[in-house]
């Protein structure tokens, strides 16, 4: 995930399949939106979407009045697809093309959202680097919403191996700086009609 090969892999995935041709595509990110609405006043909050790529979450959040949105993704091609779709509205968003395990947060956020990025980190050092960024970027009392394949979900995605978690496993790995406050199981239907088992965990940042 740290080198140019990783960036090329994801650029090629978007270029060859298009926004709606990748397995994780959602026309409406309903679970993410429901969990975000349950934890914050959207219009007054700041959010970073980790691995957001061309996801339509940013469209929905802009539509609900959020004005402090950052989207981080390894693939510039994915971010370009989102910018093109949004048009002038995309100027309201901060776009970061970076590997989350190497990125240095320059501000803090009320919400950290990650749907299906963390589970690609199969090396312990990469997971530790991600958790360091998570701890640095989320305000005390803020929340992280992290979705991964569930234990009965796929073992690979887009040709790459993944780690699968249940909420307790994920919370234990993240550590005591966050506490698990909500969990949800979701069966995602891919664009070609197969299903994938996901878990969504909502973790609250404890006071430092």
Instruction: Tell me the per-residue pLDDT of 125-151, one tens digit each, with 9 for 90 and over.
Output: 999 999 999 999 999 999 999 999 999
User: How many domains does the chain fold into?
Assistant: 1
Q: Is the pLDDT of residue 108 over 80?
A: yes
Q: pLDDT category, 8, cuts 50, 70, 90?
A: confident
Tell whether the model's pLDDT for residue 98 goes beyond 70. Answer: yes
- Domain CATH code at residue 125: 3.40.50.150
The two three-digit tokens of residue 85, written as one number:
């779709």
| Predicted local distance difference test score (pLDDT) of residue 15 | 63
Q: How confident is the model at residue 22 (pLDDT cuts 50, 70, 90)?
A: confident
Q: What is the reported pLDDT for 207?
A: 83
Q: Is the pLDDT of residue 1 over 50?
A: no
Domain of residue 117, residue span: 4-205
Alpha-carbon distance 109 to 86, whole Å?
A: 22
Q: Tell me which residue of 120, 144, 149, 122 sits closest to 133, measured CA to CA.
A: 144
Identify the residue whose tokens are 């995602």: 188
Rounded to an integer, the average pLDDT of 14-23 is: 65
């Amino acid at each position: 995930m740290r080198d140019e090969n990783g960036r090329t892999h994801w650029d090629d995935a978007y270029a060859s399949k298009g926004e709606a041709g990748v397995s994780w595509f959602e026309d409406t990110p309903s679970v993410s939106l429901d969990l975000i609405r349950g934890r914050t006043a959207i219009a007054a909050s700041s959010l970073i979407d980790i691995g957001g790529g061309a996801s339509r979450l940013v469209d929905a959040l802009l539509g609900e009045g959020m004005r402090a949105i950052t989207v981080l993704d390894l693939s510039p091609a994915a971010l370009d697809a989102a910018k093109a779709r949004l048009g002038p509205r995309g100027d309201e968003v901060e776009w970061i093309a970076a590997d989350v395990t190497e990125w240095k947060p320059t501000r803090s956020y009320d919400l950290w959202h990650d749907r299906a990025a963390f589970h690609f980190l199969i090396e312990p050092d990469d997971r530790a680097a991600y958790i360091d960024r998570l701890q640095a970027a989320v305000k005390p009392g803020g929340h992280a919403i992290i979705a991964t394949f569930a234990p009965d979900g796929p073992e690979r995605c887009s040709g790459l191996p993944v780690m699968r978690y249940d909420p307790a496993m994920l919370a234990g790995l993240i550590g005591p700086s966050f506490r698990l406050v909500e969990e949800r199981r979701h069966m995602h239907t891919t664009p070609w009609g197969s299903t994938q088992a996901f878990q969504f965990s909502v973790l609250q940042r404890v006071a430092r």
